[in-house]
Structure 1
């Protein structure tokens, strides 16, 4: 295969996929693309797609929230022989009201005639230190509407390693891999583990869905983001993502990273201090 196009290259999974490919000696084949990369790619500007796709035979596809351009992009990628799509667990159970971009991307690559692999991941460990819940943890209070439903958080490094395997090795075509960590952890437990490792007090507060929505709006979140986060937690409360998945073990031949190991590594950097 020739070049490997990585969409969303500066993102949480994209930059790790790029780094792993380069570490495996694939540096000359890697084409990182985004609005800010040397190879420019913007979902809202179809004029950027042709140059990004030129010479690419494999694509790591992280879909935009707005699903509108996904089908057209996949149609234009007629020379691409292999797609690996990042998606979310539970998408097949809740329909397209949640994760519309991911759902459309799954369908588009299945209909493309190319090889495809879909990675349906649980919530990332790194949501606690890279974005989303990092600031609330630093402030000493994480408030969410999830209850005692466990979440087997998956490490982004594991997701990236599975993506690299699917992009560069045969045997993954037509497969959908659910990716989770090795055990379920409630959000309350997760905060306790982080607080203990950070050596400080951090409070977990359980909110009703209505109170959570009101807090987000009061903090200035746009309605679209509030709707997406509210749908995310409705999915979790229903238990659709609570069971363990074996995708990491199946692809990599090893257990996934444990939440406690992730926390210990990050706490050593002072991220939650």
Structure 2
């Protein structure tokens, strides 16, 4: 078993927290990379990077808030330089499916001179249970600018499992794993499955990009609204409506189904309103 730590950047996020837990359960030494960590990592403070990367053999790279945000590619390039200087051997990048900015960041990692694995993920199932759509689910209405398009919604547990495999097994070096669920779902169908599992009424309401932008202005301000509206414009147009075999190639098993996610999330209390 290796003794050099594996750095998990974004260790408090949906994927990062699961990766940390899995690596620790398998007996790997882990260094958590978050602003509040014992050895902090902060994307907005490059002065924290050297200590976080020191002695690390491999690093999981999850960029917050999203690779589509202004300056993300510059930060990824700078991280690559810091990782090379620190003697890091391998980078595993979480990327977004169907996003041009994410592809640019993939190319930076691919051309870094380091070993790498690219994990390109579809829409997260856990957006409905742990993310910004949990509240709308509890309120019974999920509104998105997605029309009636279908998405191969991916379970974050699958994404984490693939990342852990890539971080700990050189057989995955140089691979691009595109992670999807096993079937296509419209957001109306997803809402119906959540409703059935949670025992609460949940509907999907298609809205325009302009309506979405206005709603996001009130949540995160103009930059957040602009970027996330553009992500929706780019990705929720139907061009991602196909399945891939990334989970099967990486792990030798089928991806988890959305219905299984719904049952697990409901059993965990994710969709129970506070008394």
1:223-249 per-position Cα deviation (integer Å, ceiling 9, x unaligned): 222122212322333222210011001
SS at match of 2:150: coil
Give the distance between the partners of 2:166 and 2:130, measured in 1 at CA: 25
1:264, distance to aligned residue in structure 2 (A): 0.8
For 2:256, the equivalent position in structure 1 comes to: 257
Give the distance between the partners of 1:72 and 1:211, measured in 2 at CA: 36
SS at match of 1:39: coil
1:202, distance to aligned residue in structure 2 (A): 1.9
For 2:98, the equivalent position in structure 1 comes to: 90
**How many residue pairs get matched?**
262
Aligned in 2, Cα 1:19/1:223: closer, same or farther, shift over 3 Å?
same
SS at match of 1:132: coil
SS at match of 2:151: coil
User: So what's the TM-score if we normalise by structure 1?
Assistant: 0.91
Which one of 67, 73, 80 corresponds to residue 74 of structure 1?
80
Aligned in 2, Cα 1:236/1:77: closer, same or farther, shift over 3 Å?
closer
Aligned in 2, Cα 1:215/1:44: closer, same or farther, shift over 3 Å?
closer
Is 1:240–2:242 an aligned residue pair?
Answer: no
Is the Cα–Cα contact under 8 Å of residues 125 and 154 in structure 1 kept in the other structure?
Answer: yes
For 2:171, the equivalent position in structure 1 comes to: 171
User: So what's the TM-score if we normalise by structure 2?
Assistant: 0.90
Instruction: Let me know the Cα RMSD of the aligned residues.
Output: 1.5
Is the Cα–Cα contact under 8 Å of residues 8 and 59 in structure 2 kept in the other structure?
Answer: yes
Give the distance between the partners of 1:59 and 1:51, measured in 2 at CA: 13
For 1:15, the equivalent position in structure 2 comes to: 17
Gaps of 5+ in 2: none
SS at match of 2:225: helix
1:103, distance to aligned residue in structure 2 (A): 4.0
Which one of 4, 7, 10 corresponds to residue 5 of structure 1?
7
Is the Cα–Cα contact under 8 Å of residues 182 and 255 in structure 1 kept in the other structure?
Answer: yes
Is the Cα–Cα contact under 8 Å of residues 146 and 237 in structure 2 kept in the other structure?
Answer: no
1:32, distance to aligned residue in structure 2 (A): 0.9
For 1:99, the equivalent position in structure 2 comes to: none
For 2:46, the equivalent position in structure 1 comes to: 46
Gaps of 5+ in 1: 97-101
1:5-53 per-position Cα deviation (integer Å, ceiling 9, x unaligned): 1101111111111111111121xx2111110111201112121111111
Aligned in 2, Cα 1:200/1:12: closer, same or farther, shift over 3 Å?
same
